[in-house]
């Protein structure tokens, strides 16, 4: 795997985590009335973003979205989630 692929994976993970967790969870929590609803709504959007991966990708992305959302709500830290997301993406992309 080349350096460009690794950099792209890191950038993608950072972008998704910053938007889905860092922005959407607090914002949707405000709009929907509770942080829990914000986590669920952002998880649905995160899963929809991965719809091209089929039903398994949708389900897995939704569950990861919930898990990462709960971790973000508890810690308010994005970097561990970015690292985990990037590591997972790199692992599944190794032939």
CA distances from 2 to 7, 9, 42, 93 (A): 9, 11, 31, 12
Do residues 68 and 85 touch, judged by C-beta distance below 8 A?
Answer: yes
User: Block means of pLDDT (10 residues each) for the chain, length 95 residues?
Assistant: 79 96 98 98 96 94 97 97 95 83
Supply the pLDDT for residue 94. 80
Q: Which is it for the CA torsion 74, 76, 82, 83, positive or negative?
A: negative
**pTM, whole model, 2 decimals?**
0.90
């Amino acid at each position: 795997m080349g350096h460009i692929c690794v950099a792209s994976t890191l950038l993608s993970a950072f972008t998704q985590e910053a938007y889905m967790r860092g922005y959407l969870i607090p914002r949707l929590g405000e709009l929907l009335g509770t942080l829990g609803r914000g986590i669920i709504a952002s998880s649905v959007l995160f899963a929809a973003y991965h719809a091209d991966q089929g039903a398994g990708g949708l389900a897995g992305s939704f569950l990861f979205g919930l898990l990462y959302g709960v971790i973000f709500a508890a810690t308010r830290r994005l970097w561990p989630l970015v690292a985990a997301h990037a590591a997972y993406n790199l692992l599944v992309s190794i032939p």
